Amino acid sequence: MIDTVFPATIEISKFLLFLSMILVCIRIVRGLHAGDRVVDLDMLCLLGVGVAALAAITSGSMAFIDVVLGIALIGFLATVAFAGFIARGTTQGGGD
Amino acid sequence: MGVTKMLMWLSAFFVLSGSLVTFIAALGVLRLPDFFMRMHAATKAGVVGPSLLLVGAGFYEPSWSTWIKIALAILFLFMTTPIASHLLGKAGFVGGVSVWEGTARNDLENVLPSDVFVETDAPISSEKPAGNMLTCAPTTLPRQ
């Protein structure tokens, strides 16, 4: 039974992650503030982590778990850098 | 039922629940009315969903090296995402993001000014200081 359930589960998960990416991209287009877009970028990175985990299952090679570490690191650094950028930008705009 | 089938069932369960939680997080990011609420959705559910997916991948091909890498990845996600969203929330607040009109209380309203960024470190001497941290007042510098 699991031989039929497992591929269907993988397909459903792929579809759900695809749909999540579409929703987050809609939010990026609609985002009101720069901070909103950075939050959505962070969410896209986390979705990339999920997709890499799914790719590790579908391709059968656990090397994709290393990809997860890379994506998580880049997402964290990008979010921190953008947060500092937003805060600094408001400082220099309001200070002068 | 053999051990491998049991592991397949566990993997299917974790993968499905992880993708469901991730989808709920994306739905929250799209639909919630406020910057801070969207950040809350992206942070909490967005960390748990990929972690569950990673655990599902670990049950699919269980081995020591895989489990160690997955544990490292989950630990890293749980450590970094709160820091990132804390910084982002502070940046959004001082950047003048308006809160939802239905918000009951805003504890930071009179504590953190919403138009100036308060430095938590000592200001670098070559840099213009942004504000006085003790009085929360923006420093007025003479024009150069």
d(CA B100, CA A78): 27
Chain mean pLDDT for chain A: 87
Q: What integer pLDDT is reported at residue A1 of this predicted model?
A: 80
Residues 19-38 in A contacting B (C-alpha not used; CB under 8 Å): 19-21, 23-24, 26-27, 32-36, 38
Report residue B48's pLDDT band, with 50, 70 and 90 as the boundaries.
very high
B137 in contact with A at a CB cutoff of 8 Å?
no
Mean pLDDT lowest for which of A26-35, B17-26, B39-48? A26-35
**Which of A24-33, B12-21, B97-106 has the highest average model confidence (pLDDT)?**
B12-21
Per residue in A72-94, pLDDT tens? 999 999 999 988 888 776 555 44
Ramachandran quadrant class, B119 (left: phi over 0; alpha: psi -120 to 50; beta: rest): beta
Contacts of A70 in chain B (CB under 8 A): none
Quote ipTM for the complex.
0.88
CB atoms inside a 10 Å sphere around CB B31: 12
d(CA B72, CA B106): 37
Mean pLDDT across the stretch B16-41?
Answer: 92
Distance, C-alpha B46 to centroid of its chain: 8
B33 in contact with A at a CB cutoff of 8 Å?
no
Whether residue B134 is predicted with pLDDT greater than 80 in this model: the reply is no
Chain mean pLDDT for chain B: 81
Contact B69/A12, CB-based, under 8 Å? no
Among A39, A50, A87, select the one facing B42 at the smallest CB separation. Answer: A39
Please name the helix (run of DSSP H) or strand (run of DSSP E) that holds residue A20, with its range, or none: helix A2-30
A74 in contact with B at a CB cutoff of 8 Å?
no
Among B8, B77, B128, select the one facing A6 at the smallest CB separation. Answer: B8
B26 in contact with A at a CB cutoff of 8 Å?
yes
Structure tokens belonging to residue B69? 């890498």
Contacts of B96 in chain A (CB under 8 A): 90
Buried b (16+ CB within 10 A) or exposed e, B83-119: ebbebbbbbbbbbebebeeeeeeeeeeeeebbebbbb
CB B118 within 8 A of CB B94: yes
Domain ranges of chain A: 2-95
Output B81 or B111, whichever has higher pLDDT: B81
Contact A53/B115, CB-based, under 8 Å? no
Report residue A96's pLDDT band, with 50, 70 and 90 as the boundaries.
very low
Q: What is the pTM of this model?
A: 0.80
Length of chain A: 96
Total H helices, total E strands in chain B? 3, 2
Q: What integer pLDDT is reported at residue A53 of this predicted model?
A: 93
d(CA B17, CA A68): 19
Report residue B114's pLDDT band, with 50, 70 and 90 as the boundaries.
low
Q: What integer pLDDT is reported at residue B135 of this predicted model?
A: 57
B42 in contact with A at a CB cutoff of 8 Å?
yes
